[in-house]
Amino acid sequence: MQDKQLWLQPDYYEGFKCKCGACRNCCCNGWDIAVGMEEYFRLIGMECPEEIHRRLECAFRVPREPSPERYRLISPNWLGECPLRAEDGLCMIQRDLGEAVLPEICRMYPRCLKREGSLQEAVCSNSCEAVVESLMRPERLQLRFVEMDARWEIEAHADGEMLNLGKQTVEMLQGGDDALNERIGKICGAIAGDVGYGVDPGARETGLRTLMAALEPLTEDSRALQTFAADAFDRYGAENPDAEENFSADARAFEERFPDWMRWYENILTNHFLYTNLPWVDERLTPAQVRAGLCMVYGSMRAVGVAYAAKRPTREDLADALAGIFRLIEHSPFYYNAHILAKDPESMLAL
């Protein structure tokens, strides 16, 4: 039997529970869910109620470039939902046959397990609304990390240098009394070795224009962005002559309504840093290019959150919007796209 190992994990991880049918924006909505070849044939061939078998027969499509790991896709139905989701919001497979029968991706999501050098980490994705809600609870203070026993084995892919810089970014994010955008600016400078990188308060108009122009091409492949960023495009887009005035007014109202917003965003970003191995989020990118992506992560959280809350004033509404944009940020080549699309990334820190 494999020995127990110590895992570093956020303090919410051990108590995380899926909201199941109570989820406002179910994790399987709007996504093609990939299953491997072995899992596909196991699902198609298993003994199950006739209704589940009928739905399974119609659920799968062949991806453009199938592989043993990505052999078939469970595609959304005409409502944008997983065809195996029942009317009560529950997964029919899990409800009727048990969790062990689920595809691995459905059993694990939103959890992520990894090894960074000698350190093993377990974290959940911000794309799950239950995770974001836990990071925004009124009683929650700064996100903390704890060590727990676990029995998992995964491949290592980080070295000591990565661990040290990754730890430094979290310490910079959680330390001091600076405004959140100023801390992000310092982190960007540390990542790329540019101590002069920071916030220009007069760049807000440029930041809005840069962000909206960079996000717009990404809406084609992101239903979540289409849904949760629609108000931001309408109020802050280049075609709106009052974009900066709208943002300033919305931001003031946002900050009055949510005085703890910086603490919430800090916790969500801390979780994001761990989830993505920041600053090594994409092996194709240089540190300067990762910096562009981080600026756009902050800008997206700020503009989309502020615009969405202007019409939907509850903490749950804000959690929905943030989880929605993290579907794009954490489950697509967001940082790679950002370094190509964002022409003046530093300006987004003014938002």
Distance of CA 58 to the CA centre of its chain: 29
- Higher per-residue pLDDT: 253 or 31: 253
Q: What is the pLDDT of residue 4?
A: 52
> Kind of pairing, strands 145-150 and 33-35?
unpaired
Q: What is the pLDDT of residue 17?
A: 87
Gap between the Cα atoms of 341 and 215, Å rounded: 8
pLDDT digits (tens, 9 = 90+) for 191-222: 888 877 878 889 999 999 999 999 999 998 88
Instruction: Quote the pLDDT of residue 2.
Output: 44
Q: How many CA atoms lie within 13 A of 209 on its CB side?
A: 12
Contact present, 189 and 196 (Cβ < 8 Å) = yes
**pTM reported for the whole predicted model:** 0.90
Q: What is the pLDDT of residue 162?
A: 53
pLDDT in tens, 254-294: 999 999 999 999 999 999 999 998 888 888 999 889 999 99
| pLDDT tens string 223-236 | 899 999 999 999 99
Beta strands in the chain (DSSP E): 5-10, 33-35, 60-61, 72-74, 111-116, 119-124, 145-150
Per-residue pLDDT tens for 139-167? 988 999 887 765 444 444 444 455 567 78
What ranges make up the beta strands (E) of 221-287?
none
Neighbours of 197 (CB within 10 A): 21
What span, in angstroms and rounded, lies between the C-alpha atoms of 321 and 302?
11
Check whether 174 has a pLDDT greater than 60. yes
What percent of the chain is predicted at pLDDT more than 90? 57
Of the two residues 162 and 134, the one the predictor is more confident about is 134
Q: What pLDDT, on a 0 to 100 scale, did the predictor assign at position 327?
A: 94
pLDDT tens-digit profile of 58-91?
Answer: 889 998 899 999 999 988 888 888 889 888 888 9
**Which position has the higher pLDDT, 138 or 20?**
138
Q: Is the pLDDT of residue 332 over 80?
A: yes
